[in-house]
Amino acid sequence: MERREPMEYFPYENLRAHQEEFIRIVDDVVRNGENAIIEAPTGFGKTISVLAGVLPHAKEMGYKVLYLARTHRQMDRVIEELKAINGKSPVSGVELRSRKELCLHNYLREYTSDAYTAMVVCKNLKKSGKCPFYENEKKKKEEFEEVARFFLREPSHPSEILNYAETLELCPYDLTRKVAEGADVIVASYLYMISPGIREAFLDGLGIQYEDLIVIFDEAHNLPDQAISALSDRLSIHTINRAIKEADEYGENEIANFLSILGRGLEILFQEKLSSRDVQETPIQPELVFSHVLNVLGINARYLVKTLNEMVSVGDAIREDRINKNEPPRSYIGRTGEFLLLWLSLIGRDDYLFLMTRDKGLSLELVALDPSKALGFIKDVQSAIFMSGTLTPLEAFHDVMGIDNARLKKFPRMIKRENALVLVAKDVSTRGAERSLEVYRKMADYIVEAVKIIPKNVGVFTASYEVLQGLLSTNLQVRLEETGKAVFIEKQGASSKENDLMVAQFKAHAKANGAVLLGVMGGRNSEGQDYSGDEMNGVLLVGLPYARPTPRIEAQVRYFEKKFPGKGRYYGYYLPAHRKLVQAAGRVHRSAEERGSIVILDYRAMWSNIRKDFPDWLREGIKPVDLARMRLYLRRFWANER
């Protein structure tokens, strides 16, 4: 077979600095069947570089490229790059979205929230002949196949496929999957691969074998958290109570009785373990959840498993019944059975923590401690590439995610030194013992003065909502409004829609007097959100976002300590916080040319053991300041911009 060269898949005239090296490394890695962990800064052009690197070998060998990203915006960007490549060398690509986003059936769109329920509903609607779009797909088989072939000629956004399918009254979800079967590149969300249940169904459905896959993880710094959350689960006492009602409604008396006794046992346990309002969560011995019900009913473990399996079957039947009645397709019995079976199956595993919590009501929680368990499949794929602007130190990422046979590469800064000002206040900190109204007032002075000097928009990201409240208690909002800038405050628990609207309004002020956005580090506005140009000229980072030493954090540290002796606290506690800070700092530079100022309101950021985790552009040139010096540096830095 003729060997293809990466530059055949690079559609632009000029290469940016180091891009060719990046492309060559990726090309080499996939040809050798290795993995790679690559850090390259903002503005590098990682997406086009990784595609140009993997496509030659993928096309030669018939491997499928699976490009995984976190947000829709990131996924759309991949399709844009594929379109550009296709103008030079033929390549096909498609972006997968959830059923809910692509389905045309009103019932599914209205009533389903999660992927699993959407799958069950779709299956039922198809089976009962109640989906006209699927019926059309069968009737107009030729047309369906022809449209799929059409989309294989040009990489397309989901909206393009959706519009086409809507006009032809075909199912856009099935059409997208049909295109995916033949496409060179599938763009999808992380969840498709890190959630074990979804992964198997996804690959089986498309007839893809692991060994035929090259997987790219973009913005890979998100992976540890995403993996933990994909492997964890939670069941509230509220769901169990609803399950009892449901069992009564459906005449499932035995299940109703079982659940009532189980629920009573849990109440006793909650009273015993979480009686103090100050305790938010506590680890429990997992068997205790079943002791009461086993005692009262006089049943053994085998009978328990049988009952839970029965609950799952009854749940499936209830979902089906509700679909037929045009009611929301949920079953509390099914959900409870599934959770408790999982709980039982994980007893004895040291990579899980069993908790009782009072977060969002009294709940049982299964907390995964080992994110690498979500990536067990990596050893079976041809290659996996992990890339991000924030992976320092690469060795830690490599360890925590358990990626063997990997090449590690770090590309240098893109941001010119003169375009970044990094200041650290030397007289404030959010260290537990030092938090006081006086310190918050001092911090508020820094923030107000910086906001006055920084032209246009400013982000203020705090270590936690508690710190944000501490700052607001100093009358900060009024003082900020007096600067003439609009003030936006991130709301904990706001819906994505509400938050998106707020961020859009904040960004719009960049064209007027500017605005201030107050939020937390590690939150949705300090990570994964792009602010270009004046939309965020400066950030103030208030404190270091170390997690509170809750049982789950302590268990994480202990687990990592056992797995990586001497590094447990660093991997489980310090490093995640340092990454959050770096992410928030990175909001000011969306390209190498942009100017941005970063003020860290915590003197610990000067400490060498913390600074070592910062990327070069943040670390080099960092300056300790007091309030007067901060004013001076900021004025000089922004002198010509106002």
Q: Which residue's CB is nearer to ligand SF4, number 125 or number 480?
A: 125
126 lines the binding site for ligand SF4 (CB under 6 A): yes
**Neighbour count for residue 591 (Cβ, 10 Å):** 13
SS (H, E, C) 402-433: CCCCEEEEECCCCCCHHHEEEEEECCCCCCHH
Minimum CB separation from ligand SF4 for residue 178, in Å?
A: 12
Stretch that binds ligand SF4, among 103-111, 410-418, 502-510, 600-608 (CB under 6 A): 103-111
Q: Which residue's CB is nearer to ligand SF4, number 173 or number 560?
A: 173
Residue pair 30/149 in contact (Cβ under 8 Å)? The answer is no
242 lines the binding site for ligand SF4 (CB under 6 A): no
Quick check: bond before 551 cis, omega within 30? no
Structure-block tokens of residue 295: 């005692």
Which one among 69, 122, 179, 353 touches ligand SF4, defined by CB under 6 A?
122
Which one among 125, 203, 356, 453 touches ligand SF4, defined by CB under 6 A?
125
55 lines the binding site for ligand SF4 (CB under 6 A): no
Q: Which residue's CB is nearer to ligand SF4, number 122 or number 187?
A: 122
Q: Which residue's CB is nearer to ligand SF4, number 42 or number 189?
A: 189
Which one among 50, 108, 323, 414 touches ligand SF4, defined by CB under 6 A?
108
105 lines the binding site for ligand SF4 (CB under 6 A): yes
Residues in 165-224 at the binding interface with ligand SF4, rule: CB under 6 A = 171, 173-174
CA distance 5 to 56: 6
Structure-block tokens of residue 585: 């700092």
Q: Which residue's CB is nearer to ligand SF4, number 102 or number 439?
A: 102
319 lines the binding site for ligand SF4 (CB under 6 A): no
Stretch that binds ligand SF4, among 124-132, 333-341, 491-499, 514-522 (CB under 6 A): 124-132
HSE of 221 in the Cβ direction (CA atoms, 13 Å)? 24
Number of H helices, E strands in the chain: 29, 18
**Of 331, 311, 312, residue with least CA distance to 321:** 331
CA distance 180 to 76: 15
Q: Which residue's CB is nearer to ligand SF4, number 122 or number 555?
A: 122
Residue reference for tokens 């909206």: 159
Residue pair 82/95 in contact (Cβ under 8 Å)? The answer is no
Residue pair 403/603 in contact (Cβ under 8 Å)? The answer is no
Minimum CB separation from ligand SF4 for residue 130, in Å?
A: 8
State residue 488 phi and psi, 5-degree precision. -120, 135
Residue pair 480/451 in contact (Cβ under 8 Å)? The answer is yes
Which one among 9, 111, 134, 258 touches ligand SF4, defined by CB under 6 A?
134
Residues in 376-405 at the binding interface with ligand SF4, rule: CB under 6 A = none
Minimum CB separation from ligand SF4 for residue 185, in Å?
A: 23
Which residues here bind ligand SF4, judged by CB under 6 A?
A: 99, 103-105, 108, 122, 125-126, 131, 133-134, 171, 173-174
